[in-house]
Structure 1
Amino acid sequence: MSANGGTKAIVAALLANVGIAVTKFVAFLLTGSSSMLAESIHSVADSGNQGLLLLGGRRAKRAATPQHPFGYGRERYIYAFIVSIVLFTVGGLFALYEAYHKWGHKEGITEWHAVPVVVLVVAIIMETFSFRTAIKESNHVRGNQSWVKFVRRAKAPELPVVLLEDLGALVGLVFALFGVSMTLITHNGRWDAVGTAMIGVLLVTIAVILAIETKSLLLGEGAEAHDVTAIEKAITAGPEIERIIHMKTLYLGPDELLVAAKVGVRTWHSAEELASGINAVEARIRAAVPAARVIYLEPDIYNADADRADSGAATHIEPGETAGRSGG
């Protein structure tokens, strides 16, 4: 659902931004407004970013190879990180440069006065529809999380990226409308520069937030606490496993979770029985957390006496791990 919803939101944003970019650029050519130029480049950058997200989603579907045995799921993270760089450089830094340039050339808008206002109002309406689509698709997967928590914790990067881009586009349009309106009222082009600078600061801020969040995904994030709990319960729900000695999880891609655990097992009469028991545990894990597609369970004999001997010592337990000691 997240992948389909993400694609729908990306396409909606792409169509809106292409149309908006053309109308803004025409308005800039007619009026010479720096706010309109900054917004034109912003929309072009956003359109390119949505193309990158679509490309990343497509490339991530490639089958695993001997060189990349866990597949290409993380390509979606890489392209989302590239989006943050494009937004920072092409959108944010260009707007700040244009604001600096306009501040030194403070001529106002001398002709086609109504054009930038009309274009910006129409762009706000179009961008609102795109933002509404992103919100609607995000609500399918957001659950009870706050919007801040959803952006910070989402494993699929497309929806948070589109949400922040659309939010930035809407606020940026309001900033541009403020700069253009004040320029028309006062006949002082420095208000246009102020609006452009506000757009630049906004885009740089959003780009930094996206870079931080996608960097965390690129480095490798483990499962959320509720999924870790569900996996632990699934492992110990049957008679096969006496306890979890330790466990690690890692997202290989937005929809693929790796689970690796050393588990204490009871005494088995044959290797065939042991293999059958491990298979049953893996089936329970996948039923509890469908994203857990890659599972490695290492059976060991749990030494309860050794554990009791150490029960008085302080033990550091990593998130997602269960304390214990193996016999070998």
Structure 2
Amino acid sequence: MSANGGTKAIVAALLANIGIAVTKFIAWILTGSSSMLAESIHSVADSGNQGLLLLGGKRAKRAATAQHPFGYGRERYVYAFIVSIVLFSVGGLFALYEAYHKWSHKEGITDWQWVPVTVLVVAIVMESFSFWTAIKESNHVRGKASWVQFVRRAKAPELPVVLLEDLGALVGLVLALFGVGMTLITGNGRWDAAGTAMIGILLVTIAIVLAIETKSLLLGEGAEPQDVAAIERAINEGSEVERVIHMKTLYLGPEELLVAAKIAVEPCETAEELARNINTVEARIRTAIPIARVIYLEPDIYQAQAAARGGSAAASATPSTGGAGTTDEAARTHGG
């Protein structure tokens, strides 16, 4: 995805949440509504989360070091995972606690009754702008994927995180409006508590989804099948390579892919010719998949006849995982 698109969506969400948090806190102070307090803490948590995403994006741009030779691209995943923890603890669990407290003290809203409704309506408008920005930026990169597929498969975490946060914020505002509205109509503060509890359950659910998806990125994901196929085509389309014996890919960061492959090559007269052929293949891979910035190709000799006989020269190629390429029974002149 475009890093600029993700940053634009984060900044829009941050500005909206800061403004919303201030107005919600004022409404809570005036009315004592638990839904308003829960939504205020929710907006504060979201603002902090957007700050974490921006910090993660900045730190991920650091140059590689001897201790971290592949760079810091995956730091964006770390901060996205922290966001899920903040959303779960600060947003979701606090809302559930406040709902329990309000259920035990079921006073209605007696002062400034028009304030919470006005604030919530204004907040819905502001949050809708943030959500629209996230949708617009996501549409630039999600292609034909459904929204569920986009959230699950996106390698850059910022847009999925902002999308889920904004969706949760909008639904939470509607739930808060329901709780506050029913409390104003009936005079029973337990409606306010019920709205707060629903907000808490919503935030905990979104936080769990974010944690699961981000954990997968932290563990290391391979390229998507279509990208694996494109890499294989790039390797095989020239005369330098007979076939891919096995291949593995790994995202080092949202915009940096590692490709490691054992390839069968024709015998070469000199090492210089072999090196030139490998460089040619690497160039084709980078043309096909520009984010394939780290490529390791190990040349080998594939002996189909020996493989068919099952002789001592035959060996089984290691099955690939995480974006694997073709796996074959291969006979080679040396192990590895």
Counterparts of 2:2 and 2:36 in 1: how far apart (Å)?
34
* Cα pair distance change 1:316/1:65, threshold 3 Å: closer
Aligned partner letter, 2:214: T
**What's the TM-score, normalizing by structure 2?**
0.95
Offset of residue 321 of structure 1: 2.8
The aligned residue for residue 134 of structure 1 is 134
1:327 is aligned to 333
2: CA distance, partners of 1:153 / 1:188: 45
**Aligned AA for 1:173?**
L
CA distance in 2, matches of 1:301, 1:172: 61
1:264 matched to which residue of 2? 264
Whether 2:63 is the aligned partner of 1:68: answer no
Question: Residues 36-73 of structure 1, C-alpha deviation per residue, up to 9 Å, x if partnerless?
Answer: 00000000000000000000000000000000000000
Please name the residue that 1:161 is paired with. 161
SS at 2:141's partner residue? helix
The DSSP-based 3-state class of the residue aligned with 1:141 is coil
Question: Does 2:254 correspond to 1:254?
Answer: yes
Query: 1:96-155, CA deviations, whole angstroms, 9 ceiling, x for partnerless residues?
Result: 000000000000001100000000000000000000000000000000000000000000
Contact 2:230 2:289 in 1 (8 A): yes
Name the CA distance, whole Å, in 2 between partners of 1:309 and 1:2: 51
- 1:201 paired to 2:201: yes
For residue 235 of structure 1, report the CA deviation from its aligned partner.
0.4
Q: RMSD between aligned alpha carbons?
A: 1.5
Distance in 2, Cα, partners of 1:213 & 1:146: 16
- C-alpha distance in 1, partners of 2:15/2:307? 61
Moved over 4 A (4+): 314-317
Is 1:43 aligned with 2:47? Answer: no
| CA apart distance, 1:316 | 8.8
Deviation sequence 1:208-235 (CA, Å, 0-9, x none): 0000000000000000000000000000
- Identity value in percent: 79
Q: Which amino acid aligns with 2:48?
A: G
The answer to whether 1:285 aligns with 2:289 is no
The equivalent of 2:313 in structure 1 is none
What is aligned with 1:214? 214
1:1-328 mapped onto 2 (5 Å cutoff): 2-309=2-309, 317-318=319-320, 320-324=324-328, 325=330, 326-328=332-334
Q: CA deviation at 1:318?
A: 3.7
Q: CA deviation at 1:2?
A: 1.8
CA distance in structure 1 between the aligned counterparts of 2:250 and 2:272, rounded to whole angstroms: 29
Post-superposition offset of 1:327 = 2.8
Q: Structure 1: any 5+ residue segments left out of the alignment?
A: none
Indicate if the aligned counterparts of 2:246 and 2:319 stay in contact, CA closer than 8 A: no
- Deviation, 1:307, is 2.7
Q: Distance in 1 between matches of 2:117 and 2:309?
A: 76
TM-score by length of 1: 0.97
Could you tell me which amino acid in structure 2 is paired with residue 152 of structure 1? R
- Quick one: distance in 2 between partners of 1:29 and 1:193? 17
* CA distance, structure 2, for counterparts of residue 148 and residue 45 of structure 1: 24
Q: Give the Cα–Cα distance (whole angstroms) in 2 for the partners of residues 190 and 309 of structure 1.
A: 78
- Write the distance in 2 (CA, Å) between the matches of 1:115 and 1:267: 80
Q: Which amino acid aligns with 2:333?
A: G
